[in-house]
């Protein structure tokens, strides 16, 4: 599993939701749906607006003077909010939903500054996302139990390297709000560390013998330091002794031209990319709020491969997302067939409290998920096996990390992140040496030190 494995959201105290419904039966139904999508976020319904942490006015346009009624209600809410703040209570969030919101969104925000958020009937499934974004914009943290800045400060103080390879966190949090994922709620918004701090930490690591650094972030390619991730990689590549750079995990939306060019131009950047696509069905990708299609993903892969033809691709897949049909699943298998992976992680969809997908209709049967996962993993295994086998006969530069399990054996990694077993001297640990690959298996490849390696390792 990659280290972005979602964690359960931190325990948060229950919050109170008051919904006032105007108008038709449709609105009554919509109010229930809003309560449903907010329940996993910790909101329980209350009928006392003055106690509420979140007030939603679900409005209706049918009656005359409908919007006037809403404005006068907003006046009362403003007083309640002020009284609550004076009494030392928490902040009261105010949302206007429904048809009036749809018709006069901007007007409402202008006339009633008490309103935090206006949301039309088409966007209720996005309420958790919108509320999280609003809270963040107001400087509030939702469920995260740490301030990333403080954590990073502590991290930068002194970093003890442990071996030849190291992870270096450059970015945390996520603004993407995939509907299955808790990260945007638990980890908060995207935050990038300043390049100078990262470079200083990288130098500390290389001074202690680290030769390979993997840049980490939930959305590492959304790195927002000057010049983006590509610039950071180029600056790191200039550090003496740092031979290899990797990064994970990336989002297809943030793969920019500069980063693609870095794959072509920076020899220290390894030809391995973990770029999760999650599904090959556009219908499911839309329900996941991924904001890319199968086609745009495939085009992107073509571009990265044009820059670096030997790129090894890895990804994440979810099977059994709510509403996934056999046909949707087949589209995922098709996409995997087209991409041809060197490795991949795959998961059965699991409901995460606080996420919109957990409240979606069409939850898929466990047995169906099992069956799909097995089929998908069989396909990935085939591809991984074939990828490993395709290296046999090639000579690859291997960075040796540690002694192997057997006497006289050392273990390293190929540029494609494959584990490589070789018989050789421990003096090669921390060095890169050419290895002629002679055999392959599912999880590793084996080879002989090329003659020149034994004499003068890099
Ligand atoms: N169910 C199953 N898999 C999930 N992932 C994230 N959330 C869920 C979930 N609710 C997977 C995604 C992501 C990886 C780190 O974990 O594939 O890319
Ligand atoms: Fe979760 Fe999607 Fe953000 Fe990845 S991009 S951390 S899956 S919300």
Residue 339 or residue 452, greater confidence: 339
Tens-digit pLDDT profile for residues 343-393? 999 999 999 877 889 889 999 999 999 999 999 999 999 999 999 999 999
pLDDT at 155 over 50: no
Contact 321, 283 (CB under 8 A): no
Structure confidence by residue, pLDDT tens digits, 73-128: 999 999 999 998 888 888 899 999 988 887 788 888 889 989 999 888 777 878 88
Question: How far is the centre of ligand 1, averaged over its atoms, from the C-alpha of 180 (Å)?
Answer: 7
Q: How close is the Cα of 317 to the center of ligand 1, in Å?
A: 8
Among all ligands shown, which has an atom nearest to the Cα of 346? Answer: 1
As a whole number, mean pLDDT of residues 122-150 equals 64
Please report how the helices 25-38 and 127-137 are oriented relative to each other, as an axis angle in degrees rounded to 10.
Answer: 60
pLDDT at 317: 97
Which residues are within 8 A (CB) of 27 and not within 5 positions of it... i.e. 6 or more apart? 21, 58, 59, 60, 98
Do residues 342 and 384 touch, judged by C-beta distance below 8 A?
yes
Nearest CA to ligand 1 atom 16: 5
Which ligand ends up closest to the CA of 251?
A: 2
Percent of the chain whose pLDDT exceeds 90: 63
Is any atom of ligand 1 closer than 6 Å to the C-beta of 177? no
Whether 185 is in the pocket of ligand 1, judged by its Cβ within 6 Å, is: no
Q: Which pLDDT tens digit goes with each residue over 278-321?
A: 999 999 999 999 999 999 999 999 999 999 999 999 999 999 99
Closest ligand, as measured to the CA of 40:
1
Model confidence pLDDT, tens digit, residues 395-421? 999 999 999 989 999 999 999 999 999
pLDDT per position as a tens digit, 18-36: 999 987 778 888 888 888 8
Instruction: Give yes or no for residue 149 having a pLDDT over 70.
Output: no
Question: Rounded to whole angstroms, how far apart are CA atoms 34 and 126?
Answer: 10
Task: Look at residue 13 in the predicted model and tell me its pLDDT.
Answer: 58
Beta-bridge partners for 346: 317
User: Which residues, judged by CB distance below 6 Å to any ligand atom, belong to the binding site of ligand 2?
Assistant: 4, 174, 176-178, 181, 183-184, 218-219, 251
Point out the ligand 2 atom lying closest to the alpha carbon of residue 290: 2
- The strand pair at 165-169 and 212-216 is best described as parallel
Given pLDDT bands bounded at 50, 70 and 90, which one contains residue 454? low
More confident site: 122 or 272: 272
Among 1, 219, 316, the mutation site with the greatest number of ligand 1 atoms within 8 A of its Cβ is 316
Cβ of 183 closer than 6 Å to ligand 1, yes or no, is no
Query: pLDDT grade, residue 144 (50/70/90)?
Result: very low
Q: For residues 40 and 149, which has the higher predicted lDDT (pLDDT)?
A: 40
Return the best residue to mutate from 2, 4, 180, 278 for the ligand 1 pocket (most ligand atoms within 8 A of CB).
180
Give the pLDDT score at 32: 86
* Beta carbons within 8 Å of 68's beta carbon, 6+ residues apart: none
Please give the mean pLDDT across all residues of the chain: 88
Q: Is the pLDDT of residue 66 over 80?
A: no
Could you say which DSSP state residue 356 is in? G
At 85 the pLDDT is: 86
The pLDDT confidence band at residue 4, using thresholds 50, 70 and 90, is very low
The residue contributing the CA closest to ligand 1 atom 6 is 181
Under DSSP, the state recorded for 278 is B
Cβ of 184 below 6 Å from ligand 1: no
Mean pLDDT, residues 187-203: 90
2 lines ligand 1 (CB under 6 A): yes
Instruction: Identify the weakest region by mean pLDDT among 169-178, 225-234, 244-253.
Output: 169-178
Cα 288 to middle of ligand 2, angstroms: 10
**d(C-alpha 183, C-alpha 166), whole Å:** 23
Determine the distance separating the centroid of ligand 2 and the alpha carbon of 231, expressed in angstroms.
23
CA 182 to ligand 1 centroid distance, Å = 9
């Amino acid at each position: 599993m990659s280290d972005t494995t979602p964690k359960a959201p931190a325990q948060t105290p229950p919050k109170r939701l008051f919904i006032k419904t105007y108008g038709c039966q449709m609105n009554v139904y919509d109010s229930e749906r809003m309560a449903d999508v907010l329940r996993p976020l910790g909101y329980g319904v209350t009928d006392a607006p003055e106690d509420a942490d979140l007030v939603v006015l679900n409005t209706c346009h049918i009656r005359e003077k409908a919007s006037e009624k809403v404005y006068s209600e907003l006046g009362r809410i403003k007083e309640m909010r002020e009284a609550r703040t004076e009494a030392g209570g928490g902040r009261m969030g105010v949302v206007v939903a429904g048809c009036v919101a749809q018709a006069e969104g901007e007007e409402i925000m202008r006339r009633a500054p008490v309103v935090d958020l206006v949301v039309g009937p088409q966007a209720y499934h996005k309420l958790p996302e919108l509320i999280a974004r609003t809270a963040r914009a107001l400087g509030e943290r939702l469920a995260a139990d740490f301030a990333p800045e403080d954590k990073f400060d502590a991290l930068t103080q002194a970093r003890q390297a442990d071996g030849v390879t190291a992870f270096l966190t450059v970015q945390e949090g996520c603004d993407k709000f995939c509907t299955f994922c808790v990260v945007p709620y638990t980890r908060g918004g995207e935050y990038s560390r300043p390049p100078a701090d990262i470079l200083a930490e990288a130098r500390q690591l290389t001074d202690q013998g680290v030769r390979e650094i993997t840049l980490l972030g939930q959305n590492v390619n959304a790195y927002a330091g000057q010049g983006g991730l590509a610039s950071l990689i180029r600056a790191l590549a200039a550090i003496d002794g740092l031979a290899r750079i990797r990064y994970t995990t990336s989002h297809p939306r943030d793969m920019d031209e500069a980063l693609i060019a870095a794959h072509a131009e920076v020899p220290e950047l390894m030809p391995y990319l973990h770029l999760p696509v999650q599904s090959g069905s556009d219908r499911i990708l839309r329900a996941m709020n991924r904001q890319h299609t199968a086609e745009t993903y495939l085009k992107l892969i073509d571009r990265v491969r044009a820059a670096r033809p030997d790129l090894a691709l890895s990804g994440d897949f979810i099977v059994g997302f709510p509403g996934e049909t056999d046909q949707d699943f087949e589209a995922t298998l098709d996409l995997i067939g087209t991409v041809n992976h060197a490795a991949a992680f795959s998961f059965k969809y699991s409901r995460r409290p606080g996420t919109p997908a957990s409240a979606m209709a069409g939850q898929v049967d466990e047995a169906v998920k099992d069956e799909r996962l097995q089929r998908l993993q069989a396909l990935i295994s085939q591809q991984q096996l074939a990828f490993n086998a395709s290296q046999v006969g090639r000579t690859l530069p291997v960075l040796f990390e540690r002694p192997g399990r057997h006497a006289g054996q050392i273990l390293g990694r190929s540029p494609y992140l494959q584990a490589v077993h070789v018989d050789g001297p421990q003096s090669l640990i921390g060095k890169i040496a050419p290895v002629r690959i002679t055999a392959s298996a599912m999880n590793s490849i084996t080879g002989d030190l090329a003659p020149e390696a034994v004499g003068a390792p890099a």
